[in-house]
Structure 1
Amino acid sequence: MASTDVRDRILAAALHIVGTEGIPGVTNRRIAAQAGVSLGSITYHFPTQTDLLRAALSGFVTEETQRLSELAEGYRDKGLSFEDVAALTEKVAKDLAFSAERIAPFELYIQAGRDHELRQAAAECFAAYDELTVTILTALGVPDAESVAPTVVATIAGLQLRRLATGSDGEHDFAASVLLLLRAAGPVRG
């Protein structure tokens, strides 16, 4: 079995456990059982639990950013309006099922507030989301996209967290929230 395959299975198992049982549920024994690897494999690849959690969070965001970038690229030359982008954002957000792997990042972001070593990974995650959002906003002609992007990202993350915590799918309108932010950002450059 290739070393990267073992590492990937460990990370997938850790993310799944974080999403189903929270950070306290993450033990080497549980990860080994879920990943189908030896206990020694875990400490070989990840000397500390923080190293493991950091890698799991970073891996999730890398995959998520790639997925969202590919989606955004598919709409790059479509001449979308603010309304179109807001509606697409809502569709993408609401189409995401809250699987264990999608709940896990929220757990890890909260843990980063307690664990300084995990904060860097969380900061890198939000930076990746910000960068993707800047790309989309710039393509739309939003002035000062770098200043607007973190607010858009925070709004979407907050609405997703609210949706997760309340179990509600329709009470909060992602499109209206994103559209409000885009319009407040100022007129599109002509």
Structure 2
Amino acid sequence: MSTLDVRTRILDAVLHIVITDGIAGVSNRRIAAQAGVSLGSITYHFPAQSDMLRATLFRFVTDETTRLLALAEKYRFAGLSIEDAAALTEKVAHDLSFSAERIAPFEMYIAAGRDHELHQVAVECFAAYDNLAVTILTALGVPDPQPVASALVALIAGIQLRQLATGIDDQDITSSILLILKGATPP
């Protein structure tokens, strides 16, 4: 097994454990068992648990950023109406909603509030979310899209956190987005 394969298996195991039991459930023994690697290989690749969490979040951010940039390019010149943009944004929000795989990154975002290096990686991920929103808002003709994009990203993240905490998926994201978009777009 190559060094890259071992590292990938370790990161996959960390993500799986964070998904199932949260960051508190991450231990070298659990990672080794989940990844099928020796304890020594874990400390060889990651001297500290924070290094593993950073690498796991960085890998998520890299994948997420690539996906979001491709999505942004798809809609850059799509000629969207406000209603189309709101519906598209709701679709993206549902795609990013809190499935088991999505709980782990948000748990790591909270950890980023305590870890400066993890914080930097989280900033990159939210910049990708903002970039997608700016692209859509620019296509709609919003004159100053950046502050509106940040508000939309925060709104969607808040709705998703609410759904995660309550287990209730009754928030109409499209209506909430339309309220912001109608106030931000020229008549």
Task: Tell me the percent identity.
Answer: 71
CA drift at 1:64: 1.8
Query: Which amino acid in 2 is paired with 1:184?
Result: G
Give the aligned partner of residue 168 of structure 1. 168
CA drift at 1:96: 4.9
* Runs (5+) with no aligned partner, structure 1: none
Query: Is residue 2:27 matched to residue 1:27?
Result: yes
| Counterpart-to-counterpart distance in 2, 1:43 and 1:29 | 11
| Counterpart-to-counterpart distance in 1, 2:158 and 2:58 | 20
> Could you report, residue by residue, the CA deviation over 1:138-166 in whole angstroms, capped at 9, with x for unpaired residues?
23322111222211111111111111111
Q: Does the residue aligned with 2:176 lie in a helix, a strand or coil? A: helix
| Counterpart-to-counterpart distance in 1, 2:43 and 2:92 | 37
Query: Which amino acid in 2 is paired with 1:180?
Result: L
Give the aligned partner of residue 180 of structure 1. 179
Native 8 Å contact 2:143 2:185 kept in 1: yes
Native 8 Å contact 1:133 1:153 kept in 2: yes
Within a 5 Å distance, the mapping from 1:102-141 to structure 2 comes to 102-141=102-141
| Counterpart-to-counterpart distance in 2, 1:15 and 1:4 | 16
Native 8 Å contact 1:130 1:153 kept in 2: yes
CA drift at 1:95: 4.4
Q: Does the residue aligned with 2:161 lie in a helix, a strand or coil? A: helix
| Counterpart-to-counterpart distance in 1, 2:95 and 2:118 | 29
Native 8 Å contact 1:17 1:100 kept in 2: no
Within a 5 Å distance, the mapping from 1:95-106 to structure 2 comes to 95-96=95-96, 98-106=98-106
Native 8 Å contact 1:65 1:132 kept in 2: no
Give the aligned partner of residue 155 of structure 1. 155
CA drift at 1:25: 0.2
Give the aligned partner of residue 2 of structure 1. 2
Q: Does the residue aligned with 2:80 lie in a helix, a strand or coil? A: coil
* Runs (5+) with no aligned partner, structure 2: none
Query: Is residue 2:66 matched to residue 1:66?
Result: yes
Number of aligned residue pairs: give it. Answer: 187
Give the aligned partner of residue 45 of structure 1. 45
| Counterpart-to-counterpart distance in 1, 2:97 and 2:116 | 30
Give the aligned partner of residue 89 of structure 2. 89
| Counterpart-to-counterpart distance in 1, 2:39 and 2:99 | 26
CA drift at 1:81: 1.0
| Counterpart-to-counterpart distance in 1, 2:176 and 2:184 | 13
> Could you report, residue by residue, the CA deviation over 1:37-88 in whole angstroms, capped at 9, with x for unpaired residues?
2222222222211111111112112212222332333333331112101112
Native 8 Å contact 1:15 1:100 kept in 2: no
CA 1:68 to 1:116, structure 2 compared with 1: closer, same or farther past 3 Å? Answer: closer
